[in-house]
Amino acid sequence: MPKGKQIQSVKGMHDILPDQWPSRDFIFKKAKTILEDYDFERIETPVLEETELFERAVGEGTDIVEKEMYSFKTKGGDNVTMRPEGTAPIVRAYIEHGMRSLPQPVKLYYLEPMFRHEQPQAGRTREHWQIGTEVIGEAGFSADAELIFILWKIFEELDLKNHITLQINSVGDSNCRPDYKKALKDYYKNKFKKICSACKTRCKKNVLMMLDCKQPECREIALKAPQIFDFLDDECKTHFKNILEFLEEAKVPYMVNPFLMRSFGYSTRTIFEIWPDEEENQQALAGGERYDKLVETLGGQKTEAAGWGIGIGRVVEFLKKKEIKIPKAKTEPKIFLAQLGELAKKRSLIMFEHFRKAGIPLKASFSRDSIKSQLRIANKLGVRFTLILGQREALDGSIILRDMESSVQETIPLEGIVDTVKKRLKEKL
């Protein structure tokens, strides 16, 4: 086959290299610990779902469905889509696997990649990883409050609580929202020429999203638009009031933002987002909502629910910007195992496993033949001792222990070497 041009990753897709994993693992481990403490269980759904799932769940008038989905027809003729968001697939799984028969609510979390054909930007590419939660089967405000509290605690554990703002709003429900949408359309009727082209489309398909437009001219107009709070019915007002009172009691700072909207068609009542405390180039780090009609929309029985998602890439970038120290993924090695000769290499591999099982962190370079080059690596790693096993040592059952600080070497028995090294390490403390 003739040599062709170098093949690169598809635009918007990306490799996650070894040096990029510590920060991602740091976020996931913090989130996983808190979520499992609060009885959330992990779930994973397929990358491919039926296209209809997202058309029905997210809404055909949304940007996600109309512009951003990776959809195609399989060789068998099925219309499928690469998962653009995490909630709809989990609700589908909840219905399909009969989770309604389990004790309610069902509390689930996930760590999965999402795929959206949108313009790549810092911290958000066309393939982006997300940690998310869903609480399915709970109608009361306590589910919303718990989810927001847990989300805040995760960012607190990431040492970011002083650099973020929790914004919260209510979008009402099917009882009170229609009147609000009508009032918005009436308000924008005489301002249609002044709004951006995207908002002209939103006005016809999802007028609520006009309030969330970032264009200066649209933001100025939105400031004087009718506010949702004047249209909420008593139930929605009480639900929202109870959440705010819970957050105050739990000392979770928040800002009520009447212009906050979510791009998902299934949102009801509570919506919330975590934003960086910076003025320019802001992007939400996390967001969530209640979705009381989604289970029914997808063919299940009436079941209320709520959830949120954290954009891993954006949080990674924010951690870097705020210079948050990320713990090293691995324990620093204390021993380096050097070897010379075929027999020594074979025995060193077994010895390496003994040290590993004993919980003593060590390094080795089994492909190197030169003792000099191996000692150079040991010096670079900053280990306390280097064990040197040569052909002669391998035959007579001994090994050389080299103190890397003093360069003093001594030959000791190979038998019981793990215990001997443990003792020497304690003496060095």
- Tell the burial category of 53 from Cβ atoms under 10 Å away from its Cβ (0-12, 13-18, 19+): middle
Give the integer Cα–Cα distance in Å for 4 and 422. 55
| Fold of the domain built from segment(s) 18-176+232-321 | BirA Bifunctional Protein; domain 2 (3.30.930)
User: Tell me, what's the pLDDT at 243?
Assistant: 95
User: Tell me, what's the pLDDT at 61?
Assistant: 62
Give the integer Cα–Cα distance in Å for 182 and 140. 28
* Strand extents, DSSP E, 247-299: 255-256, 268-276, 286-290
3-class state of residue 250 by DSSP: coil
Token pair listed for 245: 């009172």
Domain boundaries, the chain: 18-176+232-321, 335-428
Q: Which CATH class is domain 335-428?
A: alpha beta
| Beta pairing class for 268-276 and 286-290 | antiparallel
User: Tell me, what's the pLDDT at 279?
Assistant: 54
Scored b (16 or more CB within 10 A) or e, 362-386 reads: bbbbeebeeeeebbebbeebebbbb
Give the integer Cα–Cα distance in Å for 267 and 292. 8
Global pTM value: 0.83
How does pLDDT run along the chain (429 residues), one tens digit per residue?
567 788 888 888 888 888 888 899 999 999 999 999 999 999 999 999 999 999 888 876 677 787 888 899 999 999 999 999 999 999 999 999 999 999 999 999 999 999 988 877 766 688 889 999 999 999 899 999 999 999 999 999 999 999 999 999 998 888 888 888 888 888 888 877 778 877 777 777 777 777 777 788 888 888 888 888 888 999 999 999 999 999 999 999 999 988 888 767 788 889 999 999 875 557 889 999 999 999 999 999 999 999 999 999 999 999 998 888 887 767 788 889 888 888 888 888 888 888 888 888 888 887 777 888 888 888 888 888 898 988 888 888 889 998 888 888 899 888 888 898 888 888 766
Q: Apex CA 325: angle with CA 358 and CA 167, to 5°?
A: 125
Give the integer Cα–Cα distance in Å for 134 and 388. 54
DSSP per-residue string spanning 30-61:
HHHHHHHHTT-EE----SEEEHHHHHHHT-TT
Give the integer Cα–Cα distance in Å for 361 and 335. 7
